[in-house]
């Protein structure tokens, strides 16, 4: 890969392929795979990632919102797309683009059915989500009778899957809770399936669910973070490859004398002479202020350079006193070293947040060889 001349987010589709195959290898051969490509495919490039997953043979894709699914359809993606957070305002767009809604409450069921009737749809595919403990979106078991009453008296919409979402699949200290979520889901499907005319697919596991609860893989799994190279535990991270690398370049080097300060609010005051490098990446690019003042470091010529002082909107300054480097040298903000997970942990957050937060100002550079 050419050296970065500005801040770029490199997206490695071979790493994506490796991660997809690794996750598939943990599953039964017939288990279907849904690739989660919401939030620009976890901050990378949703079209490039979706197209690659389509070539690899993914069974389903998921986005959070309709607009994200529309972008994929407009790019020619044909794979079925589940919209995880359907909102009534975008029903029309959803239907026009053949996206499949998550229906999670009696209210949204009735609203969608009303539209399906107006448009005279025929067995339009919908997905029912049940709340088994995350307490975010979903029906509860008590609503099953009312639900089946509505569903079985019409042919405008058809349930193609029933699913739920685990709250703490990455945390083995919460395995009792997770097992309870699994048994709640099992009980719900035991009651619901016999009442439906056609047997829908069942799915429950996210990435850490695949790793820790593969026995409950049902008909399909839904993976996001694993595809992008993170498994929420170091043994799995070692098997996966980071898809995204945030690269930048040294714009200017400064020699700061003892007693001088660096950056806004004079947050860093030099107790001795230091050498800093100014980098063209800041909080407007997704490197939040919480990473400043030594909380995170970047890598320059293989060595750690901590962020000094406050993060600016468009720049950061890093300490390169001990590093042989010059203006124009490449900088790795995160990628293989430090990983996004390591970078994020400095500011007590998670890989998901730093990855999805890289703003659209940063050029995406897709690599597939
Ligand atoms: C985001 C999301 C996923 C993917 O979770 P990962 O931990 O990234 O694998 C799966 N299911 C639902 C409902 C989600 O919202």
pLDDT digits (tens, 9 = 90+) for 53-93: 999 999 999 999 999 999 999 999 999 999 999 999 999 99
Domain parsing of the chain, residue ranges: 31-228, 244-367
Q: Measured from the CB, is residue 203 less than 6 Å from ligand 1? A: no
The answer to whether residue 4 scores a pLDDT higher than 80 is no
Gap from CA of 249 to ligand 1 centroid (Å) = 33
CATH architecture of 244-367: Beta Barrel (2.40)
pLDDT digits (tens, 9 = 90+) for 148-202: 999 999 999 999 999 999 999 999 999 999 999 999 999 999 999 999 999 999 9
The answer to whether residue 1 scores a pLDDT higher than 90 is no
Residue 270 per-residue DSSP state? -
Q: Measured from the CB, is residue 23 less than 6 Å from ligand 1? A: no
Which of the following is catalytic: 38, 52, 129, 156?
38
pLDDT band of 24, cuts 50, 70, 90: very high
**Annotated catalytic, 32?**
no
Angle made by CA atoms 136, 196, 207, in degrees to the nearest 5: 40
Residue pair 11/52 in contact (Cβ under 8 Å)? The answer is: no
pLDDT digits (tens, 9 = 90+) for 128-143: 999 999 999 999 999 9
Gap from CA of 276 to ligand 1 centroid (Å) = 39
Average pLDDT of the chain, as a whole number: 97
Q: How far is it, in rounded angstroms, from Cα 77 to Cα 186?
A: 33
The answer to whether residue 94 scores a pLDDT higher than 90 is yes
Q: How far is it, in rounded angstroms, from Cα 204 to Cα 138?
A: 13
Q: How far is it, in rounded angstroms, from Cα 357 to Cα 363?
A: 14
Which of the following is catalytic: 117, 264, 269, 326?
264
pLDDT digits (tens, 9 = 90+) for 256-272: 999 999 999 999 999 99
Cα 179 → chain centroid: 24
Q: What is the pTM of this model?
A: 0.97
Q: Which of 84, 201, 243 to mutate to test the pocket of ligand 1 (most atoms within 8 A of CB)?
A: 84
Do the bridges between strand 268-269 and strand 274-279 make them parallel or antiparallel, or are there none, so unpaired? unpaired
CATH number of 31-228: 3.20.20.10
Minimal CA–CA distance to 228: which of 334, 303, 84? 334
Count of helix runs (H) and strand runs (E) in the chain? 12, 19
Q: How far is it, in rounded angstroms, from Cα 338 to Cα 297?
A: 8
Gap from CA of 254 to ligand 1 centroid (Å) = 44
């Amino acid at each position: 890969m050419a050296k970065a001349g500005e801040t770029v987010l490199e997206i490695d589709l071979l790493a994506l392929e490796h991660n997809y195959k690794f996750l598939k290898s943990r599953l039964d051969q017939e288990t279907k795979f849904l690739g989660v490509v919401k939030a620009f495919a976890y901050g990378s490039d949703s079209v490039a990632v979706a197209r690659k997953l389509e070539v690899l043979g993914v069974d389903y894709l998921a986005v959070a919102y309709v607009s994200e699914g529309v972008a994929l359809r407009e790019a020619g993606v044909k794979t079925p797309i589940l919209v995880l957070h359907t909102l009534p305002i975008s029903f029309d767009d959803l239907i026009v683009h053949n996206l499949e809604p998550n229906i999670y409450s009696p209210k949204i069921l009735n609203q969608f059915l009303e539209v399906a009737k107006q448009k005279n749809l025929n067995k339009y595919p919908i997905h029912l989500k049940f709340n088994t403990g995350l307490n975010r979106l979903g029906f509860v078991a008590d609503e099953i009778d009312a639900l089946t009453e509505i569903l079985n008296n019409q042919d405008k919409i058809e349930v193609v899957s029933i699913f739920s979402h685990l709250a703490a699949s990455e945390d083995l200290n919460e395995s009792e809770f997770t097992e309870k979520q699994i048994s709640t889901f099992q009980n719900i499907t035991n009651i619901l399936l016999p009442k439906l005319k056609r047997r829908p697919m069942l799915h429950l596991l996210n990435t850490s669910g695949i790793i820790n609860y593969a026995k409950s893989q049902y008909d399909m799994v839904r993976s996001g973070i694993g595809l992008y190279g993170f498994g929420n535990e170091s043994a799995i991270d070692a098997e996966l490859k980071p898809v995204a690398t945030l690269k930048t370049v040294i714009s200017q080097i400064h020699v700061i004398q003892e007693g001088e300060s660096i950056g806004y609010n004079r947050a860093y005051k030099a107790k001795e002479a230091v050498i800093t490098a100014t980098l063209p990446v800041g909080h407007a690019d997704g490197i939040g202020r919480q990473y400043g003042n030594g909380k995170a470091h970047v890598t320059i010529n293989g060595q750690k350079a901590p962020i000094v002082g406050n993060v600016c909107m468009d720049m950061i300054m890093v300490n390169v006193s001990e590093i042989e480097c010059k203006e124009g040298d490449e900088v790795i903000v995160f990628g293989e070293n430090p990983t996004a997970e390591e970078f994020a942990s400095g500011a007590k957050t998670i890989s998901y947040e730093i990855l999805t937060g890289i703003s659209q100002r940063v050029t995406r550079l897709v690599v597939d060889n």
